[in-house]
Structure 1
Amino acid sequence: MNETIDTILSHRSIRKFKDEKLTKEQIHTIVQSAQQASTSSFVMAYTIIGITDESKKQALMEVSGQPYVKNNGHLFVFCGDLHRANVLGERAKNADHASITETIESTEQFIVTVIDTALAAQNAVLAAESMGLGACFLGSLRNDINKVNDLLNLPKHVVPLFGLAVGYPDQQPEIKPRPAIETIYHENNYLEDEKQAQFIGEFDKKLKDYYNKRSTNTRIDTWTEQMIRKYSNPQRLDVTPFLHSKQLNKR
């Protein structure tokens, strides 16, 4: 074990922050750490928008429905961004801009921008946690992706993927358990469903015990029940037409 691994294995989402803003130096350190993440072909297909306008934070909180979107040390919005690459193609004298645009609007390049953005965001979280801060990812900003897009004035080929609330923790929740490594890590072939079912069953018991005994928000629940609820209730079905309206993931 070392300090880096200890930080990784100690991760928990923080949803209650002290009323203390991050300094400009802290924000820049977090963003610079994000920039050092691996990136496909050096595209760096993301933009990070820091939200300091309180009216915009309020509007984003209303989209999310979560108070910690507003009450935090700093709010970042991570956007998949292929706009920069497209502009380079527009301005290059000898480039085939039509071919560049066609490539940018492909599913492959949408996958690239999502992966690049996620890698950068994970680096940002690790940096924040190493500084004694806490963080929480905010996929809930996609509850109204069109409104978020308009609030941030995003151009074509840029999409808001998720937010990240960072700040000084005002809670210390227990670390949520994870399933046995065999559930996630398979050797040479995908693990048969029956073998996975055994590991998932064991994890359900472990998670049920965790929910029953944790210090706040106790409940009786399992991972299986959570997944059934989640996928029985289709949500955010406007994301696909939104992506197409932004000229992404078209082919």
Structure 2
Amino acid sequence: MSYSYLCTDLQTYFNLQTKQCVSCDMKWIKPGYEFVPNCGYEDNGGRRDSHTQKCADNYWNDGKSGKCQMCSACPTGVPTVRQCNATVDTCCGLGENCDPPRVDNQMEIRLVIIVLLACVMVGALTYFIYKRKNKSCQGLIADGNGKVASLSQRDGQESKAVLIPQASAAPLRMVLDDLDVLEELIILLDPEGHGVKCTRHLASYCNFPSTWINYTYSMRDSKSPLKTLLEGVTTKYPEWTVGDLARLLGEMGRTDAIVVLAKLRPSVHTV
């Protein structure tokens, strides 16, 4: 197929200014492509097609020619070192004369390596930050008047915290039902900071996976992690009591939270 009646060489086109057939400009060629007939121009200067097209199957062009060439076939008994593709010909024999990989392929490999290294570094940094953050929780509590006090200031009061038998034996669900006690526990246990353990650690004590814990904390703007945890525990361990929760809080060193639990006063029908 030809787009020109005046230029029989398909790698030329009719130039209206010089009134001659001129060669297609090689700047339009890139590896794996060849010129379309007459560079896509008609004799009146109109364009019928783009300048180039991809090499057909079993043809190649390294960008140094205006036309793709048919792939070579290795002679019988001679091994094929490299298969022909759109940008390089077949390489036969021992491979000493094979062309090196294209630069853009090398760049692609380098980019993949860089991206993988970056992902590893980001993952390691994220893990380090998480471990650092997971080691501590906020060490401040609020007294009955809403004033903030350190745990050390409350040690004497906390050591006297004792659950009445009815509260200790009450179903854990009772904590969720008593909104005042629940709110105090949320204020004590949800914040993360330095020095003491918090809801994150309590969830770990209850055998919840770290992925679940992280997700719960990511949603803390809409729902308390402690409340979510207690709901999960009552579903996962329906037999648990308030005493079981108090025992875990004691193992965590959160006697301030046990003080709050001691405020529970179940009715005779609760247990």
| Larger RCO (alpha carbons 8 Å, 6+ apart) | 1
Question: Counting helix residues as a fraction of each chain, which structure ranks higher?
Answer: 1
TM interval, shorter chain, is under 0.3
Q: TM-score, normalised by structure 2?
A: 0.21
Whichever of the two has the greater Rg, that structure is: 2
TM-score (normalizing by structure 1): 0.23
